[in-house]
Amino acid sequence: MASTNVLTCSRARNAAVAAVAALALFGCSSDDPERDEETGELSTSGDVGVFDLEVGDCLGEETGEGEIESLEAAPCSEPHTEEIFAALTVPDGDYPGQEALDTEAEGCLEEFAEFVGMPYEESVLEINYMTPTDESWGMGDRELLCTVYDPEAETTGTLADANR
């Protein structure tokens, strides 16, 4: 079987990890999105491999729990459901397991307040995160991506300094 590059997605709710049923993608496109050469921001929509996602990218529909290889990404100026607001680096060593990675993801809560402008516990917004898998860890993946979203509706524009 061919090796695939995947991350595991989980959702945090009220500072605790909660399970999510499925991974859904919006508006599937076979085209790779383009990035603005000056800003690095996405200028078109398309599927992005998980290792090409960057802080500031906006995603189609909510990432769910499970392994993923790519996600639909779009400019934040277009309606979207999640925005990557932080990337945390997990310390080297043997693969720590999903439970330890979930604990590392608590760092998303600290980054949330800085990004949104208020503590997570007081916000109406939610977070999600993507962690390395055992397989991607073996290929040197140590990045944990934190996303923010409004559970009530899609967002147009960034949630940076949203203060809600």
Express each pLDDT in 89-128 by its tens digit.
999 999 999 999 999 999 999 999 999 999 999 999 999 9
| pLDDT of the residue at 60 | 85
The strand pairing partners of 10, in sequence order, are 129
Q: What's the angle, vertex CA 79, arms to CA 64 and CA 147, rounded to 5?
A: 40
N-terminal to C-terminal alpha carbon distance within the chain: 46
- CA R_g for the chain: 15
Complete DSSP assignment for 117-155: SS-GGG-S-EEEEEEE-HHHHHTT--EEEEEEE-TTS-B
pTM given for the model? 0.79
Give the three-state DSSP class for 66: strand
pLDDT single digits (tens) 132-161: 999 999 999 999 999 999 999 999 999 999
Q: Which residues contact 14 (CB under 8 A, 6 or more apart)?
A: 121
- Tell me, what's the pLDDT at 136? 94
Task: Tell me what the mean pLDDT of segment 55-76 comes to.
Answer: 86
Strand (E) positions, the chain? 7-13, 16-18, 46-49, 58-59, 66-68, 70-74, 82-89, 126-132, 143-149
Helix (H, G, I), strand (E, B) or coil at 108: helix
